[in-house]
């Protein structure tokens, strides 16, 4: 039950998916600590440490859960050390192992390694969801690949594009994020067993100076923890440059999400595209007619938070003195989980938006009709020249009629009637039978439909291939509170 007398982060209480919220929960964190102690004990036993007995290991494995958080809190209050508090609590639960839990290790054995495990698992969650978002938006792009729409530069009318082609601009950035996050995941290694300052001195003492066994211990613990390799050298901690690499990728995705949601908000203002709007959803407490793009606004809001978090990891990586300093700890407890939680929420929001995005072709066509006559003037001039007309004379006729139509639009607030004026002008009689063909919107989109088809068939398919099995299983569509 929620304790309403204490602050609760909206990232977990309001927005985050259960799987990502669990990934950074106390149960996952301290459960992983216990598993790491079991893994260390198993590896030490396998390599000949007789003090670590099978009975001790079995008792540890039998008591991975539940965790007595009340006891751990009392111990931490007394010892002022969270790791030793949990060593003691685990020892009470598994008394046969009490003397060998954490044998030879420093606190960072469990803290750093558990954080790397949580980041690894968090990246896996994000990658699957990001692939799903790309797949959903790709279906949208395919559906609307040939629907002409007015393009904008500087948010001023420009040449035509298609609704699907514009979606591909979004997809291309998401593919860059898929690449960046995949790289961060592939590059992630384990801290392993390195000792207090990274020299492995304590483990060398445990194994009576046998360097081979210390190396074997590091490799075995790394393998048992599901990592292909450990960082070859560390101080007391793994380099905080790792956090920076990971959050750079997540922050970059935040910029993508913000750009996409901003575009949707602009298009919603134009009434060309809308995000899903529930039957009973209220857009405004005062203005009953409003259909605010609330999900897209939330994306922008949370994306700003995600983009700023990477600044913490820049500062932390830059200020780690020599083998380590503890001023990274409190910061990382906030910045790393919040970056993952926020990225996860953004992906759930985007999936929800893309799954139900509504397009209004009639509104789009009307806006095209307001701007296309001016864009079509060059086609009309070329057609007249091919029919034997003089380009300069034709240009002057077009110039005069265009200014008249523009004045009607800007000064009187009326529709653009340039095409009607051309129809009525005797000079243009030779091309009137072909006029509708000359101003057909689909002839102004260039290769946009072909670009969409090629991009989806080649680039998107290739990028999603590693996620094919996950996508076939389907994605959970998260119900989102307003």
Active-site position among 4, 5, 154, 269: 154
Other Cβ atoms within 10 Å of 208 Cβ, number: 8
From first CA to last CA, the distance across the chain in angstroms is 21
> Does 284 participate in catalysis according to the annotation?
yes
Q: Which DSSP letter does residue 26 get?
A: H
Active-site position among 284, 301, 329, 442: 284
Question: Cα(346)–Cα(172) distance, rounded to whole angstroms?
Answer: 17
Question: Cα(242)–Cα(246) distance, rounded to whole angstroms?
Answer: 6
DSSP string covering 98-131, please? Answer: TTTTTTT--HHHHHHHHHHHHHHHHHHHHHHHHH
User: What is the SS3 assignment for 151?
Assistant: strand
Give the Å distances, CA to CA, from 328 to 36, 46, 204, 313, 346. Answer: 22, 35, 28, 9, 26
Identify the CA nearest to 116 among candidates 252, 254, 225, 236: 225
Q: In sequence order, what are the beta bridge partners of 160?
A: 150
Give the Å distances, CA to CA, from 240 to 109, 325, 337, 446. Answer: 15, 11, 15, 48
> Does 86 participate in catalysis according to the annotation?
no
Question: Cα(15)–Cα(349) distance, rounded to whole angstroms?
Answer: 9
Question: Cα(478)–Cα(51) distance, rounded to whole angstroms?
Answer: 50
Q: Which residues are annotated as catalytic?
A: 154, 284
């Amino acid at each position: 039950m929620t304790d309403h007398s204490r602050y609760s982060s909206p990232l977990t209480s309001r927005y985050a998916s259960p799987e990502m919220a669990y990934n950074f929960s106390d149960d996952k964190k301290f459960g992983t600590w216990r598993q790491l102690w079991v893994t260390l004990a198993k590896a030490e036993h396998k390599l000949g440490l007789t003090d670590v007995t099978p009975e001790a290991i079995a008792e540890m494995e039998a008591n991975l859960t539940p965790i007595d958080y009340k006891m751990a809190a009392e111990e931490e209050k007394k010892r002022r050390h969270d790791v030793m508090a949990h060593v003691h609590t685990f020892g009470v639960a598994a008394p046969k192992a009490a003397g060998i839990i954490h044998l030879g290790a420093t606190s960072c054995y469990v803290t750093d390694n558990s954080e790397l495990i949580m980041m690894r698992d968090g990246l896996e969650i994000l990658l699957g969801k990001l692939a799903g978002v790309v797949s959903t938006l790709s279906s949208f792009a395919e559906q609307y690949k040939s629907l002409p729409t007015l393009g904008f530069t500087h948010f001023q009318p420009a040449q035509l594009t298609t609704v699907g082609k514009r979606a591909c601009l979004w997809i291309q950035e998401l593919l860059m994020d898929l690449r960046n996050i995949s790289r961060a995941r592939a590059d992630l290694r384990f801290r392993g067993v390195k000792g207090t300052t990274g020299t492995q001195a304590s483990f060398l003492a445990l194994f009576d100076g046998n360097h081979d066994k210390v190396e074997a211990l590091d490799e075995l613990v790394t393998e048992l923890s599901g990592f292909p390799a450990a960082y070859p050298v560390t101080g007391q901690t793994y380099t905080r440059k790792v956090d920076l690499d990971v959050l750079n990728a997540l922050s970059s995705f935040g910029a993508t999400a913000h750009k996409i949601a901003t575009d949707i908000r602009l298009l919603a203002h134009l009434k060309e595209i809308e995000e899903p709007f529930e039957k009973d959803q209220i857009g405004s407490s005062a203005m009953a007619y409003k259909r605010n793009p609330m999900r897209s606004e939330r994306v922008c809001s949370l994306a700003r938070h995600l983009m700023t978090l990477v600044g913490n990891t820049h500062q932390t990586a830059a200020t780690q003195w020599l083998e380590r300093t503890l001023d990274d700890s409190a910061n990382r407890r906030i910045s790393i989980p919040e970056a993952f939680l926020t990225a996860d929420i953004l992906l759930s929001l985007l999936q929800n938006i893309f799954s139900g995005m509504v397009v209004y072709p009639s509104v789009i066509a009307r806006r095209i009709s307001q701007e296309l006559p001016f864009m079509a003037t060059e086609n009309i001039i070329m057609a007249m020249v091919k029919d034997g007309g003089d380009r300069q004379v034709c240009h002057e006729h077009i110039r005069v009629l265009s200014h008249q139509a523009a004045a009607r639009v800007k000064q009187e607030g009326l529709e653009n009637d340039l095409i009607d004026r051309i129809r009525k002008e005797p000079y243009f009689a030779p091309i009137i039978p072909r006029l509708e063909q000359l101003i057909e919107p689909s002839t102004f989109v260039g290769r946009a439909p072909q670009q969409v088809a090629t991009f989806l068939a080649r680039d998107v398919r290739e990028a999603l291939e590693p996620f094919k099995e996950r996508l076939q299983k389907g994605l959970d569509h998260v119900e989102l509170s307003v």
